[in-house]
Amino acid sequence: MRFSLLAATAVVTTVLAPFAAAPIMAHDDEPAQVKSAPVAVSLTPDQLLAPYYEALAQQVDMPVAGPNPALAAGTTLTRIAVGSCNHQNAPQHMWAQIASANPQLFLMIGDNVYGDNGWDADAGLESLRSAYAMQASHREFTDFRARVPMMATWDDHDYGLNDAGGNFPMRRWGETLFETFWGSSDAVRSRPGVYESSITGPEGRRVQVILLDTRFFRSDLKRAEWSRERPPLGGYVPNESLDATMLGDTQWQWLEQELAKPADLRIVVSSTQVITTAHQFEGWTNMPVERNRLLETLRQREASGMVILSGDRHAAGIYKTAHRGETMWELTSSSLNLAFGNDIERSTAREPDAARITPFFPIENYGLVDIDWKAKALTMTLKGNTSDTLASQTFNW
């Protein structure tokens, strides 16, 4: 069953046509002197497509990732693994490598499949649905998922379209596919977007994992003007507008509330990079006002340790910055099976960055976060596709 946005518009317009000239009634329920008046009907793409998606959900097979054990609320977390950028058609060898590290939790933080590859603008996002089905067919993945608790958020390629944000017309169906595949919690399913938070562990060893949604509500990016001399590090320029948003008002309020909850360590996940301003690909650097708001919001959290995790870049590194007296750390892990090369020296030199304290690794990788509760120390480690250590950094909180 295929449907275009134009067709959806025509259907809804037809359905609402009888109401467009409805009589205006007086207080006594009798027609007033003015028998009728035009009613302006302005529907969003979400509203236009809702009937179609409701029907579509009953007619197509909805891929699911398979069984996944729940993480017990009382678990003392000491090792969390993280990864991003996993192509459904590429080898799935990294799951065995991650499993060998024995993580208690795995965070899938975006581009979990590449569902926009081959998309032909159909409203049903058939290429995304097919990508999830392909991923679910991999025994390596389902075996891993059956053993290790997982939490997930999305980035653009599993949202539905490269670099897309809140104006993507098919975002609601992309959300339905995501929530169905990953078995999202009732809290996530009850609201727009896929942001989520959990707190695990006993008092004194509580870990809060906050998964942000940097897609569903995000304003359009500001593109750089075309130029023959365009710099090679991205096609966007910073948008300084006070109206531009990364998270949307509701998610911002939610984040502030989550950060006010008691926790001893917070893992804050953004699919795109936060700290770096060294490039103009996608990232919080696209919206400097929002980036500063995020850093300030994180700084004002209820007292706890904190680390930021990100992906997206098809290269990995560890970042450090100071914001109003607080040192903040970020581990970027990308990608699991879609590396762009193996020349670490060239990748590092291509993107000089004072905030990055490691080389920029363009090879397959995953990340580990190890927690030493006695020392109140956190170690971030980047691992290659044979679990060799690429880089490691420890800090105390």
- Enumerate domains of the chain plus CATH numbers: 1-59 (no CATH), 63-396 (3.60.21.70)
| pLDDT confidence of residue 228 | 82
| pLDDT confidence of residue 12 | 40
| pLDDT confidence of residue 229 | 81
| pLDDT confidence of residue 22 | 35
| pTM assigned to the model | 0.91
| pLDDT confidence of residue 376 | 98
List, for residues 110-150, the tens digit of each pLDDT value: 999 999 999 999 999 999 999 999 999 999 999 999 999 99
Cα dihedral 136, 141, 144, 146 in deg (nearest 10): 10
Q: Name residues of the chain where pLDDT drops below 70.
A: 1-41
Contact partners, residue 54, CB within 8 Å, separation at least 6 = none
| pLDDT confidence of residue 2 | 54
Burial zone of 266 (CB within 10 Å; 0-12 exposed, 13-18 middle, 19+ buried): buried
DSSP-derived pairing of the beta strands 150-152 and 377-383: unpaired
| pLDDT confidence of residue 128 | 98
| pLDDT confidence of residue 29 | 37
